[in-house]
């Protein structure tokens, strides 16, 4: 079958994770490039790329519940917050008024996913009872409840405006906070977090892809397309909506446990409404209901600050000379993009990529 990559003789091959040679090659090249370039990144870009990887994991989580299963969740940021604080309490340093147990990462990383997943399961009856806009509004309420708890539970979060330190990196008893010596080579802490995130990212990606091509993923799609019809063909709405919420929260929590580790501290006011909206925007800008979409969206969103900074540097102006703060430019660009994509390209960056790809695939024919 060489030279005919689109001919499948087997259903297994067609539903493989990377089902064409081109995809395999590009995934491999991308991975190698990412690993090699990580040795040349400045600290700032290292931070941005790591954030992009972890944001993609969180965005995949939202994509499971909103993109695949079609249930609106505005509370994704809150679940990320829960994951962050579970990891910070279990793996962080305690003091007289803040709790912290300095446990091994092998303990806090899974728990940072499991605890939000359980909370997701607890609130999932709401999702079964409600649908559409009302569900969106209820999850909006969850954001406010979560940010209230975060800013009042001082022994866990440090209180609003003060914050606390995030989890320490200790794996199998080896402390990675000051980097790591492998023979004569020294790996910085940031680079270590980057590799950790990359591994997490790859596993999360394979997880989403597997979910989407399995029975569960097809059930989610059926619920999204028409819940009554899905129920009629024997899909247990309660079970699948609940599992979608739990899985999405699991992804959010795992991503959240690492996302603030590089910057070292986290403030409870971080997890506000805008933070949750950010993830919805990432999924929509990227392309809801696809595996690659949230990855595009996350990369796009996380790297914007670096690009804006780079351009400001090119023009030679400093932050004082322009009327808007860089973060505000980001938010403006972001709001406009969210609106623009919804109006002009509802399938997001993935849709653009899809059309480009098909154009070149079919070239010189139009289809």
Contact residues for other proteins (CB under 8 A)? 72, 125-126, 129-130, 132-134, 136-138, 140-142, 144-145, 148-149, 152-153, 228-229, 232, 273-274, 277, 280-281, 284, 323-325, 328, 331-332, 334-336, 338-339, 342-343, 346
CB of 124 to other proteins, least distance (A): 12
Our CB check for other proteins shows the closer of 273 and 304 to be: 273
Our CB check for other proteins shows the closer of 91 and 286 to be: 286
CB of 137 to other proteins, least distance (A): 5
CB of 272 to other proteins, least distance (A): 9
CB of 362 to other proteins, least distance (A): 29
Our CB check for other proteins shows the closer of 206 and 339 to be: 339
Our CB check for other proteins shows the closer of 85 and 108 to be: 85
Our CB check for other proteins shows the closer of 113 and 163 to be: 163
Q: Dihedral through CA 313, CA 315, CA 316, CA 319, nearest 10?
A: -70
CB of 102 to other proteins, least distance (A): 27
Our CB check for other proteins shows the closer of 166 and 278 to be: 278
CB of 119 to other proteins, least distance (A): 14
Our CB check for other proteins shows the closer of 105 and 146 to be: 146
CB of 342 to other proteins, least distance (A): 5
């Amino acid at each position: 079958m060489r030279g005919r990559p689109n001919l499948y003789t087997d259903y297994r091959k067609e539903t493989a994770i990377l089902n064409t040679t081109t995809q395999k090659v590009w995934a491999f090249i991308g991975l190698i490039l990412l690993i090699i370039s990580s040795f040349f990144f400045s600290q700032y870009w290292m931070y941005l790329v790591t954030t992009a990887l972890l944001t993609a994991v969180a965005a995949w989580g939202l994509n499971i519940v909103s993109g695949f299963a079609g249930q609106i969740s505005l509370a994704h940021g809150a679940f990320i917050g829960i994951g962050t604080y579970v990891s910070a309490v279990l793996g962080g340093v305690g003091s007289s008024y803040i709790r912290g147990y300095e446990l091994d990462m092998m303990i806090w990383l899974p728990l940072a996913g499991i605890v939000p997943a359980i909370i997701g399961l607890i609130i999932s009856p709401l999702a079964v009872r409600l649908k559409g806009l009302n569900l969106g509004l209820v999850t909006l309420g969850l954001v406010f409840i979560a940010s209230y708890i975060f800013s009042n539970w001082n022994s866990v979060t440090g209180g609003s405006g003060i914050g606390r330190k995030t989890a320490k990196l200790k794996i199998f008893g080896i402390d990675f906070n000051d980097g790591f010596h492998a023979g004569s080579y020294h790996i910085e802490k940031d680079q270590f977090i980057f590799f950790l995130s990359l591994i997490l990212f790859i596993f999360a990606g394979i997880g989403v892809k597997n979910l989407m091509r399995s029975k569960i993923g097809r059930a989610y799609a059926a619920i999204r397309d028409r819940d009554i019809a899905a129920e009629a063909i024997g899909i247990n709405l309660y079970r699948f909506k609940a599992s979608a919420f739990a899985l999405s929260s699991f992804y959010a929590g795992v991503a959240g446990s690492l996302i603030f580790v590089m910057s070292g501290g986290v403030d409870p006011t971080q997890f506000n409404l805008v933070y949750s909206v950010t993830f919805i925007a990432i999924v929509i800008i990227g392309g809801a209901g696809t595996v690659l979409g949230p990855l595009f969206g996350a990369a796009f969103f996380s790297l914007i600050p670096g690009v804006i900074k780079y351009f400001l540097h090119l023009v030679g102006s400093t932050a004082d000379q322009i009327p808007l703060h860089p973060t505000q430019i980001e938010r403006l660009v972001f709001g406009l993009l969210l609106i623009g994509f919804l109006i002009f390209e509802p399938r997001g960056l993935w849709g653009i990529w899809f059309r480009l790809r098909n154009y070149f695939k079919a070239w010189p024919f139009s289809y």
